[in-house]
Amino acid sequence: MRRQTLLAVAFLIALPVRADLLLLNDGTRMEGDIKKAADGWFLTDRGGKITHVPAESVKSIQLTGRGDAKDAAAEKLASLRRSVEAFNDPKIVVDRYEKFVEANKNQPILADALRDLATWHERVEKGQVKVGTKWVSPEERAALQEKALLVVDQARELLKQNKLRDADAAVNRALEPDPTNASALYLKGLIAYRQDNIPAARKAFEAVKEAMPDYGPALNNLAVIQWRQNQHLAAMAVYHQAMLATPLNKELLNNVAEALNSLTDDQKKSPVAQKAQKLWAEQDAQLQQKMMAEGWYRWGATWVDKATFTKLEAAEKVVKDKLSKLEDDFTDAQAKNDSIDGQIEQNRLAMRAMEGNRLAYDGSGKPVLYPLPPQYFEYDRANRRLEVQRAETLKLIETLRAKAQVVKQQLPLPKFNGVQLVIGVEGTPAIAPMGKPAVAPAVVTPVTPKPPVPAPGPAPEAPKIDGPANLLDELGGGAKKATPAAAGDAPKAPEKPLKY
């Protein structure tokens, strides 16, 4: 019986089949049309429900035959109907149908095809457009879009209040008539990201990218997600697109700074990383000039006021001096360790040579094994002493590395924290309904808005810097209020990274 089942399955793999009965191993009987799948069968019942049936669950298949010409023609028309669902231009669909009608003039499904063609001609004549899966007039589309915009605005406000469930429901209402609504898809991505549903967030932002290929905030968020998925070089490529789409955007350039700092040495050598690095350096130099005019200075992947920047630079110099001394000690220890390794290897080579020379032959040709010379054991004792020195040197190297990490943490404000941020609801694209002036996207300003002007009264103090404050205290106390940039200030040149 098993052999017969296998033969039936092998026959069905070769040809598309119809079956009216699947008998499963547990005795279940399933009726409908079947098609071969990679790991079993798809069965479509009379109600149109499709069920996947694994091959190992099938005991036998009873066929009703191969079908007649009418069935084959009907399948062709059904296939055409499915294929045109993806098109947004009805003229293309009309062309497809006209070719189909010409090729099937004598088929029984010609009348059905001509009715379909008449429907598509009507859509062309009325200038209908596709919204989601429906074809509507331009006026109906504008009304749907306007209604969707109101719902999207509600969703934005709900998301600002962190009401994720309500916001998601509103977004779904906006997407129901038009699944390609970029504004709703953007919010959909933000909601999924906040819920830590990274695959769903990526899918939403990729849909925004498809609808708006050059929209910077969506590209930024997609790159952040790719980075979280450890697709670092792919993220750098998308960051590059985002910088081209939205030049001099502060949040975007901060993220790229974090990403470039986190790349490995090998990744930094890749063409995509070098391309992103070059564009970032060009744009960030311009951004620094604009930000300094407002009293803000680049500090790693963030910005600080003039007074804080001055103190952080002084603190960084103290840290670098300490690291420089540790680096010198590290270099000496590493050189000593390399020297010890070389001496150990030389001694081992000499010992192996002595071991090879022990074997000799007497006058009769009989092999004789001579004892090892005293020098052999001197080499052995020397290597034991060297191994002890090597262990001590390696321990010293690890200690120096640990000290370096402690010293780095003495910076009052670290330059990088390893975190890349998505652009939130302020980045939602605002799409105007058809026939109305376009509304500018929420995030298009290339330069960060100026800091808010405080109300009249005592000047506010600069934000407090978290972290160890001993270096700032040693250098003159806490942060002062922000000071406008001097006229001759220029962006600070990138510094050579330390070895460890």
Identify the CATH number of the domain in which residue 359 sits: 1.10.287
458 burial (CB, 10 Å; 0-12 / 13-18 / 19+) is exposed
- Percent of the chain having pLDDT more than 70? 78
Question: What is the model's pLDDT at position 64?
Answer: 58
- pLDDT tens-digit map of 310-319: 998 888 888 8
Regarding whether 274 and 376 lie in a shared domain, the answer is: no
Higher pLDDT, 174 or 48: 174
Regarding whether 84 and 182 lie in a shared domain, the answer is: no
Question: What is the model's pLDDT at position 63?
Answer: 63
Query: What is the average per-residue pLDDT within 89-100?
Result: 85
Higher pLDDT, 16 or 220: 220
pLDDT at 142 over 90: no
Regarding whether 291 and 144 lie in a shared domain, the answer is: yes
Question: What is the model's pLDDT at position 134?
Answer: 72
Regarding whether 265 and 146 lie in a shared domain, the answer is: yes
The answer to whether position 231 is within a domain reads: yes
Buried b (16+ CB within 10 A) or exposed e, 20-31: eebeeeeeeebe
Task: List the CATH number of the domain containing 47.
Answer: 2.30.30.100
pLDDT at 342 over 50: yes
Domain boundary among 275, 301, 327: 301
Q: Band the pLDDT of 108: cuts 50, 70, 90.
A: confident
The vertex-255 CA angle with 223 and 191, nearest 5°, equals 55
Whose CA is closest to 423, among 197, 159, 70?
159
Please answer whether residues 34 and 18 qualify as being in contact, where contact means their C-beta atoms are separated by less than 8 angstroms: yes
Question: What is the model's pLDDT at position 68?
Answer: 56
> Any alpha helices (H) in 246-298, and if so which ranges?
250-262, 265-268, 271-293
Regarding whether 382 and 328 lie in a shared domain, the answer is: yes
Regarding whether 323 and 392 lie in a shared domain, the answer is: yes
- pLDDT tens-digit map of 421-437: 999 999 998 764 444 44
Q: What is the count of structural domains for the chain?
A: 4
The answer to whether position 100 is within a domain reads: yes
Regarding whether 343 and 231 lie in a shared domain, the answer is: no
Higher pLDDT, 344 or 180: 344
Whose CA is closest to 314, among 462, 413, 460, 417?
413
Task: List the CATH number of the domain containing 262.
Answer: 1.25.40.10
Domain boundary among 379, 408, 437: 408
Range in 70-84, 210-224, 261-275, 321-335 with the lowest mean pLDDT: 70-84
Element spanning 23, H or E: strand 19-24
Average pLDDT of the chain is: 79
Question: What is the model's pLDDT at position 3?
Answer: 47
Q: Band the pLDDT of 448: cuts 50, 70, 90.
A: very low
Query: What is the average per-residue pLDDT within 136-163?
Result: 80
The answer to whether position 235 is within a domain reads: yes
Regarding whether 250 and 108 lie in a shared domain, the answer is: no
The answer to whether position 442 is within a domain reads: no
What span, in angstroms and rounded, lies between the C-alpha atoms of 123 and 135? Answer: 8
- pLDDT tens-digit map of 458-474: 433 433 333 333 333 33
Question: What is the model's pLDDT at position 404?
Answer: 87
Give the structural domain span for 103: 69-127
Question: What is the model's pLDDT at position 431?
Answer: 60
Tokens of 34: 């079947």
Question: What is the model's pLDDT at position 70?
Answer: 66
Range in 18-27, 34-43, 483-492 with the lowest mean pLDDT: 483-492
Range in 2-11, 345-354, 421-430 with the lowest mean pLDDT: 2-11
CB atoms under 10 Å from CB of 181, counted, come to 28
Question: What is the model's pLDDT at position 270?
Answer: 96
pTM of the model: 0.56
Please answer whether residues 361 and 368 qualify as being in contact, where contact means their C-beta atoms are separated by less than 8 angstroms: yes
Query: What is the average per-residue pLDDT within 411-420?
Result: 87
Query: What is the average per-residue pLDDT within 125-153?
Result: 74
Q: With H, G, I as helix, E, B as strand and everything else as coil, classify residue 37.
A: strand
What span, in angstroms and rounded, lies between the C-alpha atoms of 197 and 201? Answer: 6
Question: What is the model's pLDDT at position 477?
Answer: 40
Query: What is the average per-residue pLDDT within 19-32?
Result: 78
Regarding whether 292 and 176 lie in a shared domain, the answer is: yes
Tokens of 40: 């079993």
Query: What is the average per-residue pLDDT within 412-428?
Result: 91
Regarding whether 287 and 163 lie in a shared domain, the answer is: yes
Q: How far out from the chain centre does Cα 280 lie?
A: 19
Q: Band the pLDDT of 72: cuts 50, 70, 90.
A: confident
Range in 17-21, 27-31, 282-286, 365-369 with the lowest mean pLDDT: 17-21
Question: What is the model's pLDDT at position 14?
Answer: 36
Query: What is the average per-residue pLDDT within 182-209?
Result: 95
The answer to whether position 8 is within a domain reads: yes
Regarding whether 280 and 372 lie in a shared domain, the answer is: no
